[in-house]
Structure formats: structure tokens, C-alpha cells
Structure 1
Amino acid sequence: MNGSELSDVEFPVQKQLEAYNARDIEDFMQWWAHDCEYYEFPSRLLASGANAIRERHVARFSEANLYGKLVKRISVGNMVVDQEVVTRTFPDGPGEIDVVAIYEVENGKIAKAWFKMGAPRLHTAEVR
């Protein structure tokens, strides 16, 4: 997907995903509104404001295997819903987790986001 195929509402969501995968905190943060809110679905506030979202992601961006694979994206009005499989390092080891991310976009920035997580699946070492 390139920028010319994206709607105005999808563009900041795609760009923050690209920055997430590059583990580039500065690029990632430019797509979030200064007063953004970040929720665990449906309503548990995890971070309020860009500084809190930055703090939340700095440690995560140190994970060498961090990668969000977009499975499907839909958008309606100013809302974008992404289905992703995220690879990361959990306390018990590397693995992946299914994520549904819902973004509310206002004025070209993510104003609110909600995340519904599945159960982590740890990668098992191959037995030879």
C-alpha cells in the first residue's frame, strides 16, 4: 500500500504503523495528536497525551523483533480499524499476538485509539 492508495483518514494510521515497524519514535509520534487518548478496549485508559504514549512505546521499540503485520484494514468516516498480528518479545519469550486496533482520526492525526488483544502465542524453538 502506498500513500496514493490511502484515504486521508487512513494515511496517518498507515504512517504510524510504518514508524512502529521501523521502531522510530519521532516518526511514530508525529501521527498522534498532542491530546490523544490510548485505550485498552473498550474503555480502560492506558495513556493520555502524546508524552504518555511516547513513554509507553520507548521500551517497546527496543524489542529487536517488534513488527506489526497488517492483515486487514477498513475505514468508515473518521474511524480506521486494523486487524494485525504483532510479533514481539513477551516476558516469557518471543511470540505473536492478534490485535484489533481502532483509530479515530481528526485533522490528520490520531486523536483516540482502542486496542483489543488476543492471547499471546509464544514461538517454540525447533527441536532437531
Structure 2
Amino acid sequence: MTELPEDVRDLVALDLRAAQVQDWSIAGDSFTWTLLTGDPDRGHELATVTYVGAVVLHTNRRDLDRAVAAAAEVARAEVVPTGEGGFEHRVVLAPDYPLVVRFWSVEVRRMPAPDHLRRVR
């Protein structure tokens, strides 16, 4: 992969293994979701990811609400460039729920979080 812009490198650097979906929102051309990352040994973080120029594929609002209610966890995630100069964040929520976010830029905000935010599935 060619050199990634700094904002996309921030997204790639997130360890989303078993991250739980906490909430999401769509406003204009932005898609934002908050994920609880980490584990009790390493500690937890809330990562809020806002994709700008975003198009969300393979899902709808009802499915996203169900993912939050079910404390859905990330099974796999990868960022790939598109042919048009943007990127896709390809995410599979357990057990087998695909979600693709096409975007032009992204903002990642991270903050420490208490362990009790992790919900039992």
C-alpha cells in the first residue's frame, strides 16, 4: 500500500480486535461511531471515529441500532484505498455482519475508559 495520509494512519493504528460498538450517528456526509477498545489487562479506551465524505454500505439504521443493543464486537477490520483516491473501512461485526464505510478523510479521537463499559454479550 502506498503512503497513507496521517488521518488514515490514525485509523489503521486502532486495535479494533473485539471492540464493542457503543453508539453511532449520521449527520450530513459524516458517519461517526464510538467503539470500546482494549481489554482488562491493557485497559480500555473509547475510540470515536468520524468519517468525512462517508457512504455507509451493507447496513441500515435498524441494523446499526441492533449492533449497539447487542454489544456487537469487531471480528475483523481493514482499511483499503479505493480507485478514486478515497478509502474503505471494511469491518465485520461478530458473528458475520459486514459493514463498509467509504470515506475521504477520518478523525479518530481516543480517551481512556473504565472497564465497566464493556457489556456482556
TMscore range, shorter length? 0.3 to 0.5
TM-score by length of 1: 0.37
Relative contact order: is structure 1 or structure 2 higher (C-alpha 8 Å, sep ≥ 6)? 2
Greater helix proportion: 1
